[in-house]
Amino acid sequence: MKRAYNFNAGPAALPEWVLQEAKEHWLNFNDTGMSLMELSHRSADYEAVHNEAKELLTSLLSIPDNYEILFLQGGASLQFTMIPMNLLPKNQTAYYALTGIWSEKALKEASKLGNTAISISSKNENYSYIPNSEQIEVPKDAAYLHITSNNTIYGTQWSSYPTNVSVPLIADMSSDILSTPIDVSKFGLIYAGAQKNLGPSGVTVVIIRKDLIKEDAALPTMLSFHTHAKSNSLFNTPPTLAIYLLSLVLKWVKKQGGVEGIATINNEKAKHLYDVIDQSNGFYRGHAEETSRSKMNVTFTLQSENLTKAFLQEAKEAGFVGLNGHRSVGGCRASIYNAVPLEHVMELTKFMKEFQRKNQ
């Protein structure tokens, strides 16, 4: 079987090694005579998988001891609600940096639950850039500052994070977690849906500083971080298969040289694609300003709508999957998450150069 050139934005490509490893143990995990999906989440065999995933993530991201790792459900979208429910008191204000649709959605949900404000925004330029983090001003009595580290729709990414704020920094890292080294200690909370860089859809990783976890009897039980922290994310039945596959992805990342090794490959993949765009004399036009370009989602258009449609159709016929831009902005988008092989990116660059040659 020939693997597709998968550039989907999410659910996205998984490492072939992970799929083969899961296949090898699909019917009989750990000589239990059962698939991992059939194991009780209270069993020793599953608990070992669960805890290994936490240990691997701790090691790969150098997560300090004063942080808790939670495996939750509901995607990043549920965190738009859980975070203000748990971390936004009535007498405080949460600040949001608007850099795309997902940060807008996060702000919208928080606004239903408490006081919110916009700290900085790039909406005036159709989210084509990331604002200067040093220009962000947040009052010392704010509840927190929320950012979206990578914007899948517009193809922009924070290259450095705000350092001049004294309140907890919260980051939605759904689309770039594990893609480059980060200092977890600079954040109060990091959350990420798994379906781009961590594994399949169905599990959301939350990395939260322990002092931010408060017991609040007024909160719905399942929407309290305290509930899940005190039960090792086993209060209810977790998405066991998704967590197992996440653990395999983490093992694969370790085999690639850890986050540092992955970052080197990601830089190379992004460079090849942006070089084609920059050297096309305007045939391909990137959406993001150069200083804000994402290394996970490369967004671009062609010189006309008809040419864009022709590009996407021919790319599909050539075996490339998922190159359509988001429905809200159109154009093209190549999502080059961790599991997308460099070889597939090189095939895309060859296709882009040939398409330009034929249509210029």
Residue 1 predicted with pLDDT over 80: no
Residue 216 sits in the same domain as residue 179: yes
Task: Tell me, yes or no, whether 171 and 247 share the same domain.
Answer: yes
Percent of the chain with pLDDT over 90: 96
- Residue in 16, 29, 90, 7 with CA at minimum distance from that of residue 244: 29
* Claim to verify: residue 31 and residue 89 sit in the same structural domain: yes
326, 10 contact by CB (below 8 A): no
Residues 269 and 250 in one domain: no
For 11-44, the pLDDT digits (tens) are 999 999 999 999 999 999 999 999 999 999 999 9
Residue 331 and residue 233 in one domain? no
pLDDT digits (tens, 9 = 90+) for 224-248: 999 999 999 999 999 999 999 999 9
Domain that holds residue 263: 257-359
Please give the structure tokens belonging to residue 247.
């653990």
- Looking at the fold, whether 123 and 172 belong to one and the same domain comes out as yes
Alpha-carbon span 182 to 294, nearest angstrom: 16
More confident residue, 358 or 137: 358
**Residue of 227, 238, 225 whose CA lies nearest to 81:** 225
Three-state DSSP class for 67? strand
Identify whether 3 is part of a domain.
no
Provide the pLDDT for residue 164: 87
Do 240 and 261 lie in one domain? The reply is no
The tens digit of pLDDT for each residue in 54-81 reads 999 999 999 999 999 999 999 999 999 9
Confidence of residue 306 (pLDDT cuts 50, 70, 90): very high
Question: In angstroms, what CA-CA distances link 45 with 70, 200, 246, 247?
Answer: 19, 21, 16, 14
Report residue 318's pLDDT band, with 50, 70 and 90 as the boundaries. very high
Is residue 267 over pLDDT 90?
Answer: yes
**Residue 236 shares a structural domain with residue 279:** no
Residues 38 and 182 in one domain: yes
At 267 the three-state DSSP class reads helix
Q: Is residue 1 part of a domain?
A: no
Mean pLDDT of the region 108-134: 96
Residue 6 lies in a domain: no
The mean of the pLDDT values for the chain is 97
Work out how many domains the chain is built from and give that number.
2
Beta-strand pair 297-302/320-321: unpaired
Q: Which of 206, 226, 255 is the last residue of a domain?
A: 255
* pLDDT for 328: 78
Burial bucket for residue 31 (CB in 10 Å: 0-12, 13-18, 19+): exposed
Smallest CA-to-CA distance from 186 within 167, 172, 159, 210 is with 167
Q: What is the DSSP letter of 130?
A: P
- Among 244, 339, 85, smallest CA distance to 94 is for 85
CATH code assigned at 47? 3.40.640.10
Residues that are catalytic: 102, 172, 196
Q: Could you report the per-residue pLDDT of 326-338, keeping only the tens digit for each? A: 887 889 999 999 9
**DSSP, res 269:** H
